[in-house]
Amino acid sequence: MKRFYTILLSIALSLFFTINFSCDGGGNSKTAAKNNTSTQQTTSQQTNTSVTQQNQQQNTNKAAQEQLYTFRNLNFAIWFPEQPKVSYDTIVDSGYKVDFYSVVLSNDDHTYMVEVAFYPGDALKDVSDQDLLTNVMKGFLGSINTEPTSFKFNTVQGRNGLIYSFQANGGYYVVQNVINGSVVYQILIGKLGEKPTDEEINQFIGSFRFLS
């Protein structure tokens, strides 16, 4: 019987690799980046920065990180630099109807994406979480003829997951897959030309939260 993960990741590929990286970027994010750069330059030029100014900057950064987008029908919240686009499709695999959602933002040289696949409860009963996560990764990377540069099993709020990185099409990507019951989540950040920094990875993937 054909495993569902091949369908899941083929959709992921068709979506992800048709995203155009914008050279100019969105107005809101560009303004935010400009403001952040200005703040960093001002801070670096001041040799006698007060404790009050440092605390204000820390509070500003913390507030930005806590501005999460909530998707109640998909049972998660996550940070995006601006409003992402949500799309929906229905697929059928091995007789199972699957509701498939994509939440995507392409901004300057970054792409942020969360994909959610809702399966009937009995669709996953014969597949262990570890096997499923491994096969999802292999199916994804095999479709683009590449290998992971790193991977490890982990947990996200007590749910089994797998995080890995890879390089393709001039970009560097980090992917967190996680299973929540009969729902499969794929959280991805991509950066054109260079690896996403640890700060960028933590800001996006690290902000992912289940609502229940």
The confidence band for 9, taking pLDDT boundaries of 50, 70 and 90, is very low
Does the domain made of 5-24+63-210 have the CATH classification 3.30.465.10?
no
Please give the residue that has the higher pLDDT: either 186 or 96: 186
* Residue 104 to residue 188: CA distance in whole angstroms: 9
Q: Where are the domains of the chain?
A: 5-24+63-210
First-to-last CA distance in the chain? 32
Give the pTM.
Answer: 0.73
Tokens read off for 68: 């999460």
pLDDT, tens only, 69-81: 999 999 999 999 9
Please give the residue that has the higher pLDDT: either 40 or 142: 142
Helix H, strand E, coil C: the string for the chain is CCCCHHHHHHHHHHHHCCCCCCCCCCHHHHHHHHHHHHHHHHHHHCCCCCHHHHHHHHHHHHHHHCCEEEEHHHCEEEECCCCCEEEEEEEEECCEEEEEEEEEEEECCEEEEEEEEECCHHHHCCCCHHHHHHHHHHHHHHHCCCCCCEEEEEEECCEEEEEEEEEECCEEEEEEEEEECCEEEEEEEEEECCCCCHHHHHHHHHHCEECC
pLDDT, tens only, 130-182: 999 998 899 888 888 899 999 999 999 999 999 999 999 899 999 999 999 99
**pLDDT over threshold 70, residue 190:** yes
**pLDDT over threshold 60, residue 68:** yes
Tokens read off for 112: 């942020």
